[in-house]
A and B are shown apart, each in its own frame.
Chain A
């Protein structure tokens, strides 16, 4: 880099607006939150330094563990299930539908499955809170109409079912993203690979495992890491669908932090929750990057 320094001098000035803006909106607030996490503060007056008190309290708080446990289930619903179903669907659309029915059909299905992804998170929450409403919701009314009324539930209001209902909504919401990503990865594959496999008498399943899955590993990692992080950050759907209830059965860390910040005026405690969540996300992201790097070296 030293060799290019004479030619490249004078570019640093272009970084000034970006650096100043990032300082004001990201760096300073981040440092302030970490500082608040070591204080007791209601948001009025001066924060009082309490050391690690918030963290000790946090790790003894059943709600904290419950919110992170719920996130574990939401990672299954938002990252693992959509990735696996998306992988199969992308392969079917790319390798079967496009060949036997034409590209138009494959494209039509892809757009249809992707549709929920373009809607504002809050709006998808509204749609589903209506469908799942115990008295006027369409799901229970449909069950009644077809004579399965006994299966009707208070989907979002019963703590036995609320989290599973949210998980189902999240699968619906996320499915389109892996399909689109994987299909674009598949378009990279040389068709002669599939033809060679066909000549060797490979079954569809063998081609799926040996060619499809192998070739789109880069997309596989990107999808898994982005959806996992999205699951850890989930707020909007929970806010609109359940507000973390009933009796905290759908509580997630971001909503837990929000409640402490803006409803209970426990800024220090809310900051500790946010800090733990942030550390977790950053560690996970770097683990994924390492993993991806290693798998690329092995190739």
Chain B
């Protein structure tokens, strides 16, 4: 083993340098979010803050009404995750277990729907939502993302349901359970781990979405976290410490979800369940 020691040292050192490059920018944001503008000007970006300066974060929070943005993001991500999973279940039940006629074509459709860039849907959706009075409303965003996410969910879940043990369905039928009952009492509980993965992905994807919310949510009261932060870029009021403060309050919820959902995420990525 001793012969290998220099190799071990260089491999570890290389990996640590790379880790610093990957995590460093986020650490820099965290450090500078707690500095006063004067201290930043005097000591630069790399110094450790002498005192914990919270005004930057508090001022930014109040100015953009960040609590409201968090709530908007949370409500839309949660609703989309729940509705998206339900819609995926219904579709996959018909396609994977029911094997309805033309299922291959439905699957091709959901696959293609998955690939579509949102630019090719955005203008008609914008136009229609104005016509029906849903422009600048979270409801429009919830409906659109429920459908978009469920295209992916349907594709993934159908492949899981195709392999679903037939004996269990037959046993349920013998017990006199109809299709509706079988779905909720047998199929859904057994596929719960996959559904948890879908739920997690839908939640995080919707939370992080930028393009469509940017176009649909123009009112201050309706904006989600990424939109509120994104449109402020280049604003005169955004100096170095305010930018760090705004980035930090955008990073914290995302890391929190990452920690909460870590197990499901790793399992999901392992299952190839990722865009």
Contact A123 B91 (CB under 8 A): no
**Max count, chain B CB within 10 A of own CB: residue among A15, A30, A112, A115:** A15
B118: A residues at CB distance < 8 A: 233
Cβ-neighbour of B154 out of A18, A253, A271 (below 8 A): A18
B190-213 interface with A by 8 A CB criterion: 204, 207-208, 210-211
A177: B residues at CB distance < 8 A: 274
In angstroms, Cα B12 to Cα A100, docked, is 10
Cβ-neighbour of B98 out of A12, A36, A232, A267 (below 8 A): A12
A181-235 interface with B by 8 A CB criterion: 181, 184, 187, 219, 222, 226, 229-230, 232-233, 235
Contact B151 A1 (CB under 8 A): no
Flag whether A73 is at the interface (Cβ < 8 A).
no
Flag whether B147 is at the interface (Cβ < 8 A).
yes
Contact B93 A14 (CB under 8 A): yes
Cβ-neighbour of B120 out of A89, A123, A136, A278 (below 8 A): A278
Flag whether A151 is at the interface (Cβ < 8 A).
no
- Count contacts between A and B, CB distance < 8 Å: 266
Contact B113 A22 (CB under 8 A): yes
In the complex with contacts A121-B210, A181-B269, A254-B119, A130-B240 CB distance below 8 A: yes
A128: B residues at CB distance < 8 A: 25
Flag whether B139 is at the interface (Cβ < 8 A).
no
B171-229 interface with A by 8 A CB criterion: 179, 183, 204, 207-208, 210-211, 214-215, 225-227, 229
Cβ-neighbour of B226 out of A21, A122, A229 (below 8 A): A122
Number of residues on chain B facing chain A (CB within 8 A)? 92
Q: Which of A48-56, A158-166, A257-265 contacts B (4 or more CB under 8 A)?
A: A257-265
Cβ-neighbour of A21 out of B4, B146, B257 (below 8 A): B146
Flag whether B6 is at the interface (Cβ < 8 A).
no
Closest to B244 in A: A130
Closest to A222 in B: B272
In angstroms, Cα B226 to Cα A257, docked, is 21
A58: B residues at CB distance < 8 A: none
Flag whether B237 is at the interface (Cβ < 8 A).
no
The distance from the CB of A38 to the nearest CB of chain B, in whole angstroms, is: 14
Flag whether B106 is at the interface (Cβ < 8 A).
yes
Number of residues on chain A facing chain B (CB within 8 A)? 94
B residues in contact (CB < 8 Å) with A: 4, 8, 11-12, 15, 18-19, 21-23, 25-26, 28-29, 32, 40, 44-46, 87, 90-91, 93-95, 97-101, 106, 109-110, 112-113, 115-128, 143-144, 146-148, 150-151, 154, 179, 183, 204, 207-208, 210-211, 214-215, 225-227, 229-230, 233-234, 239-240, 243-244, 246-247, 250-251, 254-255, 257-258, 262, 266, 269-270, 272, 274-275
Q: List 30 A-B contacts (CB under 8 A).
A: A1-B99, A12-B101, A14-B183, A18-B90, A18-B154, A25-B147, A26-B116, A26-B148, A29-B122, A30-B116, A43-B127, A100-B4, A100-B8, A118-B258, A119-B208, A123-B226, A123-B251, A126-B229, A127-B247, A141-B44, A172-B21, A181-B272, A184-B266, A222-B272, A233-B118, A240-B230, A261-B122, A273-B119, A275-B120, A281-B116
A residues in contact (CB < 8 Å) with B: 1, 4-5, 8, 10-15, 17-18, 21-22, 24-26, 28-30, 32-33, 36, 43, 89, 92-93, 96-97, 100-101, 109, 111-113, 115-116, 118-123, 125-131, 133, 136-138, 141-142, 145, 172, 175-177, 180-181, 184, 187, 219, 222, 226, 229-230, 232-233, 235-236, 239-240, 243, 253-254, 257-258, 261-262, 267, 270-271, 273-275, 277-278, 281-282, 285
